[in-house]
Amino acid sequence: MNRSLRPLLATTLIFLFAYMLAVSQQPAMLSTRVLGNFLTDNAFLGIAAVGMTFVILSGGIDLSVGAVIGFTTVLVAVLIMWLQLHPLVAFAIALIVATAFGAVMGAAIHYLKVPSFIVTLAGMFLARGGASVLSPDSIGINHPFFSAVQKSYILLPGGGRLTVVGMIMLAVFAVAILLAHRTRFGSNVYALGGSETSAALMGVPVARTTISIYALSSFLAGLAGVVFSLYTSAGYSLNALGVELDAIAAVVIGGTLLTGGYGFVAGTFIGVMLQGLVQTYIVFDGTLSSWWTKIVVGVLLFMFILLQRLVFRAAPRRT
């Protein structure tokens, strides 16, 4: 078996096991309502984590994700409430701004040969600061389009609701899976994560690919911001604080090697769901502090890093 499948398999098994455990404690958790809420509540995290998956697969890191989400919510709110633009126009503008922001970071990483950690850290401060300059206070969004979107959903058997934001996340995952595993761009991303020197010698357009990866990550962070504004009907500069770290955790728990080159987009989906599961369980239980989520995520993360070490250290050889 392909050894990069092993962490993915482990994540899936742990998710199923944890879900069964949760259901045995709280039988009400076994319903499409809960599943629907899983998707809705974690949509912005899932979308941002998809972008993070590409970045980590290529051997980089993007710390600006949370800040870009926050910035986008503020920008969208400003465009709709102050400039009276239609939300769809506002979304388009916000996504273009976010994508350009990521492309500039990617260009800096490639051409200035600065580690992605540093460049995206700078990007994080810039985006967060920019959002506060736009508006230090939370801006509520009142628009018929928002209410309409928030009220539309597909009713699942069992009473669950698949909301628009949930659907957006599922669509993003579906497209991203094809992009990662079935296109030349996806191959190039894995190639960069395997060895940048080899990739360059093999004709991978390193500059273009690097810029595209960070542009994609910021685009998805922007989309996550749009979803976040739909989810909360507000724009606030301190929205999504630390979401980049949750995204990184989801990617790693999903079986992607933190040093790049190995992993699957689908794994990230399970990583996000696993985090959502812990949160939901805590809500159901009612007596636990929500900080237990962080503790469980920390333990899981540690376990997976250990697991990856074990899987990738002993390289099996054929002749």
Partner 1 sequence: MTAQQPVLEARGIDKVFGQHRALDTVDFAAHAGEVHALLGENGAGKSTLIKILTGAYQPDGGELLLEGQPIHLRDPLHGQTYGIGTVYQEVNLLPNRSVSENLFLGRQPTRFGMVDRKRIDAAAKDLLSRYGLNIDVRAELSEYSVAVQQIVAIARAVELSGKVLVLDEPTASLDRNEVQRLFDVVRGLKAKGLAIIFITHFLDQVFDLADRVTILRNGRKVATQALNTLNTTDVVRMMLGKDVAFDHHPTALTGGPKGAVRVQFQGLSRKGLSPFDLSVHEGEVVGVAGLLGSGRTEVARLMFGVDTSDGGQITVDGHPVTIRNPAQAVAAGFGFCPEDRKLDGIFGDLSVRENIIIALQAKLGWFKALNRDDQVELAGRYAEALDIRAANHDMPVKLLSGGNQQKVILARWLAIDPTFLILDEPTRGIDVGAHAEIVRTINRLREEGLALFVISSELDEVVAYSNRIVVMRDREMVAELDGDSIAPDAIVQAIAGTPPHETREARP
Q: How far apart are the first and last CA of the chain?
A: 16
Nearest CB to partner 1, comparing residues 150 and 187 = 187
Closest approach of partner 1 to the CB of residue 202, in Å = 5
What is the DSSP code (8-state) at residue 263?
-
Under rule CB under 8 A, residue 289 binds partner 1: no
Which of helix, strand or coil describes residue 139? strand
Under rule CB under 8 A, residue 55 binds partner 1: no
Under rule CB under 8 A, residue 316 binds partner 1: yes
d(CA 135, CA 137): 5
Angle in degrees, 0-180, between the axes of helices 206-232 and 144-151, rounded to the nearest 10: 90
- Tokens 């009400």 correspond to 28
Q: Which stretch binds partner 1 (CB under 8 A): 66-74, 150-158, 202-210, 268-276?
A: 202-210
Under rule CB under 8 A, residue 290 binds partner 1: no
Task: Please say whether the beta carbons of 254 and 264 come within 8 A.
Answer: yes
- Tokens 């899983």 correspond to 38
Under rule CB under 8 A, residue 195 binds partner 1: yes
Nearest CB to partner 1, comparing residues 86 and 184 = 184
Chain-centroid distance of CA 97 in Å reads 18
Count residues near partner 1 (CB under 8 A): 30
Amino acid at 217: S
Of residues 143-182, those binding partner 1 (CB under 8 A): 178, 182
Closest approach of partner 1 to the CB of residue 195, in Å = 6
Closest approach of partner 1 to the CB of residue 39, in Å = 26
Token pair for residue 284?
A: 């159901």
Under rule CB under 8 A, residue 84 binds partner 1: no
- Residues that bind partner 1 in the complex, under the rule CB under 8 A: 2-4, 178, 182-184, 186-188, 190-191, 193-195, 197-204, 261-262, 315-319
